[in-house]
């Protein structure tokens, strides 16, 4: 499972307004609610699970990338949202640099292997310099989704 499989242009926020990781997580969860990927009544519980995971260790992995993630029994399939911040988000990253691309993903509880596989697949795409440059130049969610699909396809 890769990023192209779990995203659509409705799950992309081309211009995050967030200045910090907590606001970025909130924005991306709002995107998942608005795109119908998570139920509005589960919003608070899912937000709490993601933030609890993030509190244990920042998912700002460096290189301008953040990958907040968690497992929950409130979903039945892997879901994700993707956001870009041109200004950068303070994510308490490992390299102390602002994050420009954030991928939030959720995995159903008990699917540890799928969780690891999804995380690895996302990281492989996001760590590519050519991908980062293409995303930075993208005009909107539709063009960003096209780039995500192209790069994800090269990892199959």
Sign of CA dihedral 60, 63, 65, 70: negative
Domains and CATH numbers, the chain: 3-153 (3.40.930.10)
Number of C-alpha atoms within 13 angstroms, CB side, residue 69? 25
pLDDT digits (tens, 9 = 90+) for 97-137: 999 999 999 999 988 787 787 778 788 888 888 998 999 99
CA distance linking residue 119 with residue 141, whole number of Å: 22
- Residue 17's pLDDT is what? 96
Mean pLDDT of the chain: 91
As annotated, the active-site residues are 69
User: How many residues in the chain?
Assistant: 156
| 25-75: pLDDT as tens digits | 999 999 999 999 999 999 999 999 999 999 998 888 888 999 999 999 999
């Amino acid at each position: 499972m890769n990023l192209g499989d779990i995203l659509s242009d409705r799950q992309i926020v081309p211009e995050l307004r967030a200045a910090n990781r907590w606001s970025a997580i909130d924005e991306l969860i709002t995107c998942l609610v608005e795109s119908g990927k998570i139920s509005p009544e589960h919003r608070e519980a899912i937000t709490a699970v993601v933030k609890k995971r993030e509190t244990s260790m920042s998912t700002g992995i460096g290189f301008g990338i953040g990958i907040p993630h968690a497992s929950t029994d409130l979903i039945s399939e892997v879901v994700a949202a993707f956001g870009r911040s041109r200004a950068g988000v303070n994510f308490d990253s490992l390299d102390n640099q602002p994050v420009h691309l954030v991928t939030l993903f959720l995995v159903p509880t008990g699917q540890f292997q799928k969780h690891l596989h999804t995380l690895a697949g996302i990281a492989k795409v996001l760590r590519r310099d050519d991908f980062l440059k293409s995303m930075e130049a993208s005009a909107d969610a539709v063009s960003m989704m096209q780039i995500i699909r192209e790069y994800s396809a090269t990892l199959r």
